[in-house]
Structures are given as structure tokens and as C-alpha cells.
Amino acid sequence: MLCGCQFFNKIFLGCLFFLLGGCSSSHEAINNARNQKITWDKETLPVVIVGGGVAGLMAAVYLTQAAIPTVVLEGQKPGGALAQSHSVRNWPGICDAPGAQLVESLKEQAIKGGAQVLAAMATAFNFDQVPFTIEVESLVNGSHHQTLKTLSCIIAMGREPNYLGVLGERGDHGYWGRGVSDCAVCDGRLYKNLDVVVIGGGDAAVQETEYLAGIAKKVTLLVRKDAFRAKDIKARDAVLAKPNVKVLFNVDVKEIQGDGVQVTDVVIHNNKTKINSVLPTAGVFLAIGARPNTALLKGKIELDEHGYVVLKEGRETSVPGVYAAGDIAESGFAQAVSAFDAGARAANQVKKRLDALGYVSFESVK
């Protein structure tokens, strides 16, 4: 395994080029999709995965199984969103474990397979021609910078939930994972016969409320305006008709409070009457939107109006050879298992593309 601090030294590059090796100094192929001649040299990687969460690591596991030298840039949040969860109860075959531990074992699996998982982040992409280039900055070596050339790329940089930014939400004295969550499917069952609140007025808030209404004693939906934003009116009305669902409009959450262990209540402010009150609750579910981490991809691949990656064929994006996996391409139901699936499928498409280009893996040139 190469650690991040070795990333930019010559040994790393030397090893990698040996693995990529082959005998001749350059190869070429015709990319049928664009009818463009692609040439690559021994410095060109077959694949770079950008993102070290579940999707990226799963893709790495599949690619290394196929003996394809694989580089993963794990980014600023190794392990991605799942690593932030204190207690994961929907990982296949594991009843309950911290997310960080689960992703670490996936990373270990990828590394044992031969993946180079680097503490580094992509800072710019150029997909205009193949080989693509990715500007990379080491996260351990300060300003060290490198340009990687690659025949394919899997984008798996995830998405970031929106946060309220109030006291008691996150941080050392916050209750994230101890009553505050952004995933009812993941954490809902902890609130059987308890009172919970859902914050938000969009389709996700309706969906979370619907799920929790089947478990919790009472769900109070806190909407900051005097109307919902949710577009699925039928679903919204069905949820609101449930006897254990109540809606409070014009409500801002000012603070999440607890007893040091668990959430006990939220301080809410009615922005019409200007009155503050305390609402007892065991759980706080945020459904206030999310932002896919696609700022660097604007103008490089097609994104939808919310910034999510648009998929064309399977996991392939608008640029042939560039694939996307995980939450960065999921505006709705985003789960670890769907990220697994997407990572595996993206890896499979990369393999097919490399085969079509006539890429020779290091296993074959030994």
C-alpha cells in the first residue's frame, strides 16, 4: 500500500508505470464513439476514481479484481457520508456498526486487491480529449501538485446534506448521530413509539415523514414557509392525512437541545408571530436538501438543474469514458447499497471500455 505522503515521490510513479508497463512506450486505439484516435503512454493510468466513499471503494474492489491498476483519490472526507454515521444498521449482513469502521474494511479490501488509495483530492478535470487529465493535490504534502493522465474516470465525490447550522446540531456538543439524522430509512427504527420532528417542506421531507409515521408515535413536520415546496401533491396529502402526523408552518428551528446523551427537544421560532417555544422530541430528521459535489464538473459533463450528474448509458456520463457512482448522481433515495451497486456497475463499464481500447493490464504483461 502506498500512503498519501508517498504520493508524489518517484517511487510511486515508477511503480505505477511499471504496473501499467507493457513493452512499448505508447499505445493507440480508435474510440468508436467519437471516432477519435486515442494514444497513451506508460504514464497514462487506466482509471482514476475520484472519491473514497462507498461507491468509489466498491468500484476499486471490482476493478482490482479484474487486475486493472486502480488509483483512488479519497478526498477531504475519507469514507464519505457513511463514515459520519455512528451507527449503521442497513449494511448487508451487519446488524449495527459505526460507518467509519465499515468503510475502513471496504478500503482495506480495495487496498489488499491492489488499489492505490491516496490522501489526495482532484482540483480540476479536463475531459476534452482522451487521455483525460486530472489535477491533483496531496492532502498530506501541503501544496504538492500533480497532473494525472487517465483513460477513464469514475466520479464518486458524493453529496453534502444541507445543515441548519444551529446550536446542538453537529460538532463536539452537537447531537448528530445521537438524535439528529438526515436519513429516516437508516435511523427511523430507533424511534419506535417516540415523538420525532422532520424539518423541511420538499418531497424528501414528505417521504421521510411518511416513513417515520409508520414507526414513531407522532411526527411533527416543521415547514419554514406557509406552504410546502413538495411537487408530489398526492404523496403529500396522503402523508398529511395520517393521524399521527402534524404540520407546523412558518417555523424555524433555532436550537436542538439534549441531556448530553440524546436529543430531548428543539427550540422553534414562529416567524409570523415571532414567538419562541420548546417542542419536546426524541429525534430530529433533516430533509432540507443536499448539494452534490459537482462544482468542479460544471461545463465538463452534463449536470441536471440541481447539479447532479446526468447519466447517459448505465453509469456513463455525457462524456464517454467518464462514469459516475453514488450520491453525486442520486437526487432521491441515496443509500449505501445503491452506491455499492453503482460502483460495481461503473467498474464494469470501465473494464469494458479498457477492453475495447485494447488496454493491457499488468497481470497480462507479467
Least distance to ligand NDP from the beta carbon of 169, Å?
10
Task: Select 207 or 209, whichever has its Cβ closest to ligand NDP.
Answer: 207
**Cα 321 to Cα 6, 77, 294, 356, distances in angstroms:** 28, 25, 17, 11
Q: Which residues bind ligand NDP (CB under 6 A)?
A: 162, 164, 199-205, 207, 224-225, 229, 231-232, 287-289, 306, 331-332
Active site residues: 183, 186-187
CA distances from residue 209 to 126, 175, 191 in whole angstroms, order as listed: 42, 20, 13
Burial class (CB in 10 A: 0-12, 13-18, 19+), 27: middle
CB-facing half-sphere around the CA of 286: CA atoms within 13 A: 21
Q: Whole-angstrom Cα distance, residue 78 to residue 81?
A: 9
Of 142 and 171, nearer to ligand NDP (C-beta) is: 171
169 or 316: CB nearest ligand NDP: 169
State the nearest-atom distance from the C-beta of 112 to ligand NDP, in Å: 37
Of 17 and 249, the one with the shorter C-beta distance to ligand NDP is 249
Q: At what angle do helices 54-65 and 99-113 cross, to 10 degrees?
A: 20
> Shortest approach of ligand NDP to residue 229 CB, angstroms?
4
Nearest to 173 by CA among 101, 288, 259: 259
Distance CA 108, CA 232 (A): 42
- Please state, in angstroms and rounded to a whole number, the distance separating the CA atoms of residues 281 and 195: 5
CB-nearest residue to ligand NDP = 202
Please give the helix or strand (H or E) that residue 2 lies within, else none. none
Phi-psi region of 67 (alpha: psi -120 to 50; beta: other; left: phi over 0): left
- What is the radius of gyration, based on Cα positions, of the chain? 23
Q: How far apart are CB 276 and ligand NDP at their closest, in Å?
A: 15
In DSSP terms, 277 is beta-bridged to 268
> Of 260 and 332, which CB lies nearer to ligand NDP in the complex structure?
332
Q: How far is the CB of 197 from ligand NDP (least distance, A)?
A: 11
CB neighbours (10 Å) of residue 193? 9
CB of 190 to ligand NDP, least distance (A): 22
DSSP 41: E
CA–CA separation, 69 and 51 (whole Å): 16
* Closer of 159 and 351 to ligand NDP (Cβ): 159
Nearest to residue 356, comparing CAs of 92, 34, 129?
A: 34
Q: Give the residue with the Cβ less far from ligand NDP, 122 or 164.
A: 164
CA distance 83 to 103: 7
Residue 262: CB minimum distance to ligand NDP, A:
22
